[in-house]
Structure 1
Amino acid sequence: MDQGQIKRLQSAIRVTADGIMGRGSYTALFLRLGAGPERAAELALGAAVHVPAAGIDATPLRFAHFFAQLGHESDGFRAMEEYASGAAYEGRADLGNTQPGDGKRYKGRGPIQITGRANYRDFGRRIGIDLESHPEIAAVPSIGMLTACTYWTVRGLNALADADDVEGITRRINGGLNGLDDRKARLAVMKGLLQ
């Protein structure tokens, strides 16, 4: 995003409009999107580093889609761990859940709600943290933000965001179209903040 777009966003979230998306601006954005103060600050710490590195802040559409999708997945950045027990994922070979207890152990965590032993192994290796052996670490907001940005990049979601393809992004994150109406509503909010 250019400085003018960032300044408009900063004005909308009521921080100093200096055209630089730093930790303070990200904290205000996460607060606006539903996170509590402590969670917002920790998510901002990760976002300030990893969002630019992943090219997510290159365009307003990428930025809007990213935050809308994560907002849906994490219940407005309030849940860094899935509310359900994870029992529904037990025995799901498509998620790599092949050992007894894998469903609960590898339930959704982080702002993108990474799920399944295979994803914990893959993305843990990509970020250099052993998420497979220590899945609870994925719920740490700053680590979850790194995982989310890595997931976004690996799955090619910037290209779908550039095409404004909310359904395509939803399928790559969710495997289906669960919560599509909420994702669209959150996207509309994000687009509104960026205008």
Structure 2
Amino acid sequence: MIPFTLLSELRGRVEFSDEVPVQVRWNLGDVIGDAGNHAPRILVSTDEWDEKVRSAIADGARVVEVPSRSEGIAQAVDVMRRALRLGEWEQSQTHASLMAYLREEVEEFDEAVRGGDEQEMRDELGDLLLQVLFHAEIASQRGSFDFDAVAMSFVEKMAKRSPYLFDGTHQVVAIEEQERLWELGKQAQ
């Protein structure tokens, strides 16, 4: 998506890095006006590591990132995808080989909670997220599921077990009712 506020700035010679889908190129061609050969160059990319992008940045190009680029989850998924593409160690891992690391990270998070150190808890949750991302990317590479599917499985579970989160409820739900609904949802699975 192109933020509406950027549309007025998009005038120039448009170039694309290789990974940009043809459909996007066609659609952007309808939106971005070409101001002739002397117009500024606009490089459209979804890959900050692409050679064209790195070269343009090195040459002092102005970088405009859409808001989603500043979202941690999207960046985390991209970093893990890149790690599995470029790292030999990462490529050698399996769900089973990563289990010891997952257990270790759970223990470290437990220690951080018991220690009451907020920064340490945040960092250890990041390490746990790394494990979830890693397992999801391994599955994605074999065509099974990806991180988005994992996230949606959470949403689907919550919809079944905590329907008040999805039905417009605005008041606090009592613990007893939460537990009852959770068990009902669990039994329905």
Structure 1 and Structure 2 fold alike (TM over 0.5): no
What is the TM-score when the length of structure 1 is the normalising length?
A: 0.27
Structure with bigger strand share is 2
TM norm structure 2: 0.27
Q: Which has the higher helix share?
A: 2
Looking at both structures, which has the greater relative contact order when contacts are Cα pairs under 8 Å and sequence separation is at least 6?
Answer: 1
Query: Larger Rg: 1 or 2?
Result: 2
